[in-house]
Amino acid sequence: MPILKKIKNPFIEAKGEEYNCFGCSPNNQDGLLMEFFTDEESVFSMWKPRRRFEGYHNVIHGGIQATIMDEIASWTIYALVGTAGVTQKMQVNYHKTLYANDSEIKVVAKVKMQNEKQAIIAVQLINSRGVVCSTAEVDYFLFPEKIAKAKYHYPGKEFFIK
């Protein structure tokens, strides 16, 4: 079994209390509070659902599921692809109900395709019983690393892996 390494969030140190990302900031108590790990082939997150993210009673809203998948895709770009980018397109499929009272959700992202200007990230949301509840294919436009560092404060791939 591959060893998982925690992916460091360098934006916390860089922005301090001003860092308020809905997906990954520990400062945003209304957010998703996601943390990430990698085996250097995939990126993983274990996410605890909360009732505040419901759509229907006890069902995690589909938009929240899409946001979780978009967020981990972004961290896959940072930590595995080695640059920053923006989502161009996202195809989401909802397979099974994702319940708000589930103990923990596993989120897995893998680079499906990558070239100089684009990456496609495949993502799965898996409930605590191992059932794939939703999937996404996220198409990212990639910035050249030099532009990612200069304009988007990307610190470099080496700052993400502990």
- pLDDT of 13: 84
- pLDDT of 1: 63
Among 23, 25, 20, 27, CA closest to 63: 23
Would residue 106 be called left, alpha or beta, if left means φ above 0 and alpha means ψ between -120 and 50 degrees? Answer: beta
- pLDDT of 17: 83
Residue 43 CA to residue 77 CA, distance in Å, equals 10
3-state secondary structure of 150: helix
Average pLDDT, 10 consecutive residues per value, the chain (162 residues) = 88 86 94 96 97 96 98 97 97 98 97 97 98 98 96 92 78
- pLDDT of 38: 97
